[in-house]
Chain A
Amino acid sequence: MSEGKHAPALQVEHLSTHFDTRQGVIKAVNDVSFRIERGQIMGLVGESGSGKSMTGYSIMGLIDAPGKVVGGRILVNGTDLARLSAEQMRQMRGNRVAMIFQDPMMTLNPVLRVDTQMTEAILAHEKVSHTEALKRAREALVTVGIPSPDERLQSYPHQFSGGMRQRVAIAIALLNHPDLIIADEPTTALDVTIQGQILAEMQRLCRDTGTALIWITHDLSVIAGLADTVSVMYAGRIVESGNVDDVLDYAKHPYTRGLIDSVPSRNPRGQRLKQIPGYTPSLLHLPSGCHFRERCPRADAACLQDPQLTGEPHAVRCFHPHTEPVEAPA
């Protein structure tokens, strides 16, 4: 891995993940490409079912049958994951790439003490003594701001509050100093105040350790304060990507605009909340051409063609992109 030094933390090229079902092929992730440099935070935004979580699972190599990664390359620090054996892939997971899940109530094993769960994450990848592993586990708990870590190490998950559990989950993800963390809506289940604390904590950790972070969410207001770059997904494809300020202030794609307008605090008092009409289409019956056209106010005959993702660094997949800045909230 001589290229490791200068390669981006994660480079995804033309990733496609399909599910072969009885009703047909579901293209959950369809030709997705992006890259994240070390220490950067990328927001991956979209509605439910847009394929953002599946992108995360694909990178982790956790797609279960009937799903399958059918195309594309995933490079972590320059290493092509497709070329790794199952054992090397296992070594990669949790060590170079870690993941944090949405529901902290579910991701910790209820019958194992926190110290067991933390030390085994270290011992699965490194030959260190148990004492050493315990010391590192304790340090990780301190890093994520858990008070009295010694006592906490001896506790079972059910003795923690939701926010504390998510901190533990984050601490576990940090244990092996991964190059990349994929966070799948980790603050959705938490209070706003706790969410703020965890966001600030994650941002600081990424800056300090050079860990790259993918933050999967549907919440643009989280992304605005946290991420460096943003990719917006719709129906398995990236429809807009770029620097976070560019995308949020000069959103080009009508779907991104719709998402921004849907943030309640942006709407003037007393007016009806804005929303994107319709639902995310079923991935089995996608409209031809632009998948968003049936919900799009700007759609016309041109949209029957397949739009391409064009324009670096602020790319958009649309024939009629917006050019004016996003209105400031009233």
Chain B
Amino acid sequence: MEETPFKRFVSDFCASRIALAGAVALLAVLFIALFAPWISPQNPYDLSQLDVLDARLAPGEKMGNGKTALLGTDDQGRDMLSAIFYGLRISLVVGVSATVIALFIGTVVGMLAAYAGGRTDGLLMRIADIQLSFPPILIALVLLALLGQGTGKIIVALITVQWAYYARTVRGAALVERRREYIEAAQVLGLPTSRIIFRHLLPNCLPPLIIIAAVQVASAITLEATLSFLGLGLPITEPSLGLLIANGFNYMLSGKYWISLFPGFALLITVVAVNLVADQLRDVLNPRLQR
């Protein structure tokens, strides 16, 4: 066994071509999101750089400042390519940070419920149940109506929507794993309780969490886009992908497809790439599925 665990991980991951394509697409999206200010032809959030005379240019037409708008411009005269780059940035920040924080909160709540049992368990899980019985979009809409617009607020809304999934899943997995003999064996070894919970119990509850978290990143991005599309997410001055699609929606029937279509593609590619990578990660990282 000369190969290091990392090499094995990479080769396992690359075993699936589709997953590899997903990873490449995801890396490209990440690169764009990270370096958007340097690779965009224009800063779409700087209103002084926008010219209304450039509004709704078709892809390939020249803007007033002499640059070519490769993907056209929107109704504010924004270069679509730049707007998409910046929009991806917002989508990823919102999706990933909301998921990570919700994952953390949900895991703590779920483990607590599973380990404490009794009334604590009952109370926490009923709260989760009540929340899960409402459609996520409804909860997010109500919250954003109360909180107002802004990136931070939309992240709060997404966390509120998501934590219950993790809490429920972790609790379920932890209740099963808790009864396993290796937990008993760890108790017999006299390991401290915190170590048993976090080193022994938690890692065994992770496989379902990884799957859910990965799917939730994608759905958080979609939900953010939906909310923005409905005009509740981010201010019009800082359009995310959803808002761009909403803006272009009005011009679809007049043949100006590019304002909605290209942000839509960007969203699609991101969500699919995240899902593909997540799927493969689940298969590779789970030692119990290893061939």
Question: What are the residues of chain A within 8 A of B181 when measuring CB–CB?
Answer: 101, 103, 106-107
Interface residues in A72-116 (C-beta closer than 8 Å to B): 90-95, 98-99, 101, 103, 106-112
Knowing A103-B181, A107-B185 touch, does A95 contact B191 (C-beta < 8 A)?
no
Question: What are the residues of chain B within 8 A of A92 when measuring CB–CB?
Answer: 190
- Interface size grouping (class) on chain B: 20 to 34
Contact of A60 among B1, B188, B200, B203 (CB under 8 A): B188
Contact of A111 among B1, B191, B203 (CB under 8 A): B203
Contact of A62 among B184, B191, B192 (CB under 8 A): B184
Confirm or deny: A156 has a beta carbon within 8 angstroms of a beta carbon on chain B: yes
- Using CB atoms, name the residue of chain A closest to B288: A110
Complex Cα gap A120–B1 (Å): 25
Complex Cα gap A15–B258 (Å): 81
Confirm or deny: B287 has a beta carbon within 8 angstroms of a beta carbon on chain A: yes
Complex Cα gap A50–B251 (Å): 80
- Using CB atoms, name the residue of chain B closest to A124: B191
Complex Cα gap A125–B189 (Å): 9
Knowing A109-B204, A111-B203 touch, does A124 contact B188 (C-beta < 8 A)?
no
Cross-chain contact A90 with B200 (CB below 8 angstroms): no
Interface 1/0 per residue, A156-187 and B, CB below 8 Å: 10100000000001001000000000000000
Question: What are the residues of chain B within 8 A of A169 when measuring CB–CB?
Answer: 185
- Most chain B CB within 10 A, of A62, A94, A172, is at A94
Complex Cα gap A151–B1 (Å): 9
Interface residues in A249-302 (C-beta closer than 8 Å to B): none
- Interface size grouping (class) on chain A: 20 to 34
Cross-chain contact B287 with A95 (CB below 8 angstroms): no
Cross-chain contact A110 with B189 (CB below 8 angstroms): no
Knowing A120-B199, A158-B288 touch, does A107 contact B191 (C-beta < 8 A)?
no
Complex Cα gap A41–B213 (Å): 51
- Using CB atoms, name the residue of chain A closest to B185: A107
Contact of B188 among A98, A111, A151, A156 (CB under 8 A): A98
Complex Cα gap A109–B182 (Å): 5
Confirm or deny: B133 has a beta carbon within 8 angstroms of a beta carbon on chain A: no
Confirm or deny: B62 has a beta carbon within 8 angstroms of a beta carbon on chain A: no
Cross-chain contact B187 with A93 (CB below 8 angstroms): yes
Interface residues in chain B, defined as those with a beta carbon under 8 Å from any beta carbon in chain A: 1, 180-182, 184-192, 195, 199-200, 203-204, 206, 287-288, 290
**What are some 9 contacts across the A-B interface (CB < 8 A)?**
A62-B184, A91-B190, A93-B189, A94-B189, A98-B188, A107-B185, A109-B204, A124-B192, A158-B288
